[in-house]
């Protein structure tokens, strides 16, 4: 898998900021609203921080499913969903 994104692992810091290994801070909340609850910002940060690992896991799962001898409807649907996720995450057009 050749990453076109900032490679992980990414880390969650204070106030839900996500930091890459190079020290770059990724914005997770968009517009800060005074007095707003930060739970949503922290939830977004967790999802963003997990993204590189999730994309790698999706690639590995798709490879495993493509090599699986079972070609049941369940496996076909799982492959389709994984391909759609990977395309969405990478900006690919299928």
Longest Cα separation, the chain: 55
First-last CA distance in the chain: 17
pLDDT at 45: 76
pLDDT at 25: 78
Answer for the pair 57, 33: CB distance below 8 angstroms, yes or no: no
pTM value is 0.69
3-state secondary structure of 90: helix
pLDDT of 35-81, one tens digit each?
656 677 777 778 888 888 999 999 999 999 998 888 899 999 999 99
Using CA atoms, how far apart are residues 94 and 83, in angstroms rounded to an integer?
Answer: 9
């Amino acid at each position: 898998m050749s990453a076109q994104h900032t490679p992980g692992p990414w880390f969650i810091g204070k106030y839900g900021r996500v930091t890459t290994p190079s020290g770059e801070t990724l914005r997770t909340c968009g517009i800060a609203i005074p007095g707003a609850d930060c739970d949503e910002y922290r939830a977004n940060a967790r999802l963003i921080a997990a993204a590189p690992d999730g994309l790698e896991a999706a690639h590995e799962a798709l490879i495993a499913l493509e090599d699986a001898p079972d070609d049941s409807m369940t496996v076909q649907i799982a492959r389709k969903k994984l391909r759609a996720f990977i395309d969405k995450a990478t900006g690919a057009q299928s």
